[in-house]
Structure 1
């Protein structure tokens, strides 16, 4: 009887894993360059391979959005940021990427 339950469990796990699909398979990841990092000036440069408009969001360590801009240029003014560590999230078309930014 135990073997029957074990067999049913194994078959159930197999069918569930066969039905699940990986949503990230076949998708291209957004790559971007963020420089200078650490930032010493009031401007950072964000370069992507695609020249279409991008949404840039900068979060503090508490998850609060401190800067949100939609732009087609590569430069972003960060003069209102105090020194610290931030997360930069770029959205372009259906792709999203995140990197760490240090402001000194």
Structure 2
């Protein structure tokens, strides 16, 4: 957390990479189950343990943005991408400022 506050850009990049990796792993596991019928794979439990909370939190954020801000999921995604790029940039926004809706 100290690194996040001190220099958030690389830490948030690492978090985004970990998120992307977890969802790719979940998708690959899903493909193995659907196409091969293999439900006893060694990656299944780890994939679900890692990705399920992320998918749940993301779904909650999408639903909240739709209800509270009338914001479409793609617009929310675009706003998040821009926010990641602007942290500690020329706008002087801190990582805490990114938690607030636009």
TM-score scaled by structure 2?
0.22
Bigger strand share: 1
Larger radius of gyration: 1
Higher relative contact order, structure no. (Cα contacts within 8 Å, ≥ 6 residues apart):
2
TM-score scaled by structure 1?
0.22
